[in-house]
Structure 1
Amino acid sequence: MEQLRRYGYPALFVLVLLEGVGIPTPAVSAIVAAAVLAGEGHFSLPLVVAVTLVAAVAGDNLGYLIGRRAGRPAILRWGRRVGLTEARFARAERFIAERGLNVVFIARFIDGLRQTNGLIAGAVALPWRAYVTRDAIGGVAWTAVWVTIGAVTGGNLGRIRHWLTHDELRFALAAAVVAGIALWWYLRRRRRPSGTGGSPRG
């Protein structure tokens, strides 16, 4: 918490971002601590939400890019330095293969998979558009859970009520709208017929 007080939002951003590329960091602890500090007046709660969400999605997509460009052998060679062994990678790879793209959403809530899902998704060449949509929806849910836990832990319910009844509500509504649009787009694509046969041209 002292590091967060000293370095502020950049420290929170870097810790969450690095976790998305497979580097173990105390990202969850940092989010909870930042929410507590927001209750004490050191941080802005809307900014904690924004920084966490942007860093989480950016980190996972950076991991995806690394996985896509480097490939499985390079990731395994580099991953041993941060605890990403071939056995761990293979387990996570099987988990994604068995459950399909929707596992990307819940990956954030599974320790080990949260840090590596972007790398694996890129390495196995999951379609980026499908990946980023699910990852963003998961990021919204994950951010909301840990910021709320931090706020409640810090006894900041009064501050949350104040936040929700003032201008910052627009920020929360905007985040909800973005998540809703992403979810609508995803469900619409799932309902779209997979066949290519359309109406004949006249």
Structure 2
Amino acid sequence: MLELIDRFGCLGIGGLVLVESFGVPAPGETAIIAGSAYAGSGHLSIVAVAITAFCAAVIGDSIGYWIGRRGGRPLVRRFGRYVRLTPERFDRVEGFMSRQGPKIVVVARFVEGLRQFNGIVAGITGMPFHKFLAWNALGAALWVGAWSTGGYYAGDHIEEIAKGVSKYAVAAAGVTVLLIVAYVWRRRRKRLGTVSK
């Protein structure tokens, strides 16, 4: 990540935030933090980092919105059952978005998983684009503001932070794999127990 930002600067940050915002798994949030930390140590402009990240977030979510609006509903109706999104559940999601949509659009920015599909879900459920755009811009401003401020004040400590993260990344990955294996094993045992009965 640090090498990418060192090489491409704000363009690299903007690209990662853009693609993450319309559903591609990419470390957009991490890119903002790392870019802001670089700005804090004098390598980039914090204003340029924040403006680039904000524009990329709004544009990316808008692309996601139009993906959902144009083709999302037929795909959900056809393939939703494979991810446990039955027509009944989809109707509940649609009703929830129609009642609480603006709040969800803002809050989803801060939640991993929701952030990537925020625009797509808003488009599928038919939220008016002008309303989505306004609330999405507010959410993006708060999200970019929070992470760019935190990263900027990390500044000169970015190397130590990067070393600390990489030191514990292997352990965190190992624990995650063990939890997934345990979950799958438990579900399989439960299923086999049900079948045998």
Do they fold alike, i.e. is TM over 0.5? yes
Q: TM-score, normalised by structure 1?
A: 0.66
Alpha-carbon RMSD: 2.8
Alignment of 1:1-202 (within 5 A): 1-74=2-75, 85-87=83-85, 96-97=97-98, 99-155=100-156
Distance between the aligned counterparts of 1:30 and 1:76, measured in 2? 35
Summarize the Cα distance change of 1:45–1:118 in structure 2 as closer, same or farther, 3 Å threshold: same
1:152-174 CA distances to partner (integer Å, 9 max, x unpaired)?
22259xxxxxxxxxxxxxxxxxx
Identity level (%): 39
Q: Is the 8 Å Cα contact of residues 65 and 120 (structure 2) preserved in structure 1?
A: yes
Q: Determine the structure 1 residue equivalent to 2:166.
A: none
> What's the CA shift for 1:100?
3.3
Q: Which amino acid aligns with 2:53?
A: T
1:44-77 CA distances to partner (integer Å, 9 max, x unpaired)?
1100010000000000001001111112343688
Structure 1 spans left out of the alignment, 5+ residues:
157-202
Comparing both structures, which one devotes a greater share of its residues to helix?
A: 2
Q: Which amino acid aligns with 2:59?
A: A
Distance between the aligned counterparts of 1:148 and 1:97, measured in 2? 33
> What's the CA shift for 1:42?
1.6
Q: Which amino acid aligns with 1:132?
A: L
Q: Determine the structure 2 residue equivalent to 1:197.
A: none
Count, aligned residues: 152
Q: Which amino acid aligns with 2:15?
A: V
> What's the CA shift for 1:31?
0.5
> What's the CA shift for 1:123?
0.9
Q: Determine the structure 2 residue equivalent to 1:195.
A: none
Q: Which amino acid aligns with 1:105?
A: V
Distance between the aligned counterparts of 1:117 and 1:61, measured in 2? 10
Distance between the aligned counterparts of 2:101 and 2:22, measured in 1? 21
> What's the CA shift for 1:112?
1.0
Q: Is the 8 Å Cα contact of residues 105 and 139 (structure 2) preserved in structure 1?
A: yes
Q: Which amino acid aligns with 1:4?
A: I
Q: Which is worse superposed, 94-103 or 130-139?
A: 94-103
> What's the CA shift for 1:9?
1.4
Secondary structure of the corresponding residue to residue 26 of structure 2: coil
Q: Determine the structure 2 residue equivalent to 1:170.
A: none
Distance between the aligned counterparts of 2:26 and 2:139, measured in 1? 19
Q: Is the 8 Å Cα contact of residues 72 and 124 (structure 2) preserved in structure 1?
A: yes
Q: TM-score, normalised by structure 2?
A: 0.68
Q: Is the 8 Å Cα contact of residues 18 and 56 (structure 2) preserved in structure 1?
A: yes
